[in-house]
């Protein structure tokens, strides 16, 4: 049996536990990043500036499939399926169709799916709600704020989720921003071709269920 804050079987921190009628899994978030976006695509970047895909660099990971609606969801419990939907695209939409020109960097979801840590290989890119819950319940262990300086922090301290923004904006997906140390993290729409940091989660079952 695990409680919130315990170390999970994959070496991550437990941030969600089974609750009858809501969730049948334990969730753990990895204690380390898969990759960190350490360099801005443009030194004049600002939160309101739309960065051209042509200025992408290889440090960090992109979402992929810019301009294509994959059908990934925002909700808790959807991250694993979201990851599978993204990875079902040829090279995650990176070096093969649908966008071999726009999507040129490594794909965040594919990096999670390919990752092995703590003897486990079933990690995935969290949905937006899963990432926000992970921060609420285990963020104190994650060390994902305050590492960037100036314009750099919009890359270093902002993490991809597996959640698209929907049919009205197929060029963007949700990232969670941790730039303001001590402040509230928030979801932000980011161009799919931009590079951001990546942190994986995994879920697993247990015979013990909580009846809250």
Q: pTM (2 decimals)?
A: 0.86
Report the pLDDT value the prediction gives residue 89, as an integer from 0 to 100. 82
Residue 118, pLDDT above cutoff 80: yes
5-14, 144-153, 154-163: range with highest mean pLDDT: 5-14
Report the pLDDT value the prediction gives residue 15, as an integer from 0 to 100. 96
* Bigger pLDDT: 40 vs 14: 14
User: What share of the chain in percent tops pLDDT 70?
Assistant: 73
Residue 191, pLDDT above cutoff 90: no
pLDDT tens track for 46-69: 555 556 676 555 578 889 888 889
d(CA 88, CA 86): 5
DSSP one-letter string for 132-193: HHHHHHHGGGT--SS---GGGHHHHTEEEEEEE--TT-TTEEEEEE--STTS--EEEEEETT
pLDDT tens track for 69-88: 999 999 999 999 999 999 98
Half-sphere exposure of 188 (CA within 13 A, CB side): 20
């Amino acid at each position: 049996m695990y409680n919130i804050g315990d170390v999970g079987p994959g070496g991550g921190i437990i941030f969600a536990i089974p609750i009858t009628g809501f969730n049948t899994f334990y969730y753990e978030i990895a204690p380390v990043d898969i990759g960190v976006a350490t360099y801005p695509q443009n030194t004049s970047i600002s939160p309101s500036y739309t960065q051209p895909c042509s200025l992408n660099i290889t440090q960090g990971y992109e979402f992929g499939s810019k301009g294509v609606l994959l059908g990934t969801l925002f909700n808790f419990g959807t991250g694993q399926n979201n990851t599978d939907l993204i990875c079902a695209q040829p090279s995650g939409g990176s070096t093969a169709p649908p966008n071999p020109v726009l999507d040129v960097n490594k794909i965040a979801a594919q990096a999670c799916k390919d990752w092995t840590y703590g003897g486990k290989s079933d990690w995935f890119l969290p949905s937006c709600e899963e990432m926000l819950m992970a921060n609420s319940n285990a963020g104190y262990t994650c060390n994902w704020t305050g590492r960037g300086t100036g314009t750099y922090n919009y890359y270093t301290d902002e993490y991809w989720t597996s959640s698209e923004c929907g049919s009205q904006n197929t060029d963007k997906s949700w990232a969670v921003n941790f730039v303001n140390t001590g402040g509230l993290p928030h979801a932000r729409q980011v161009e799919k071709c931009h590079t951001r940091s990546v942190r994986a989660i995994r879920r697993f079952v247990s015979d013990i269920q909580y009846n809250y």
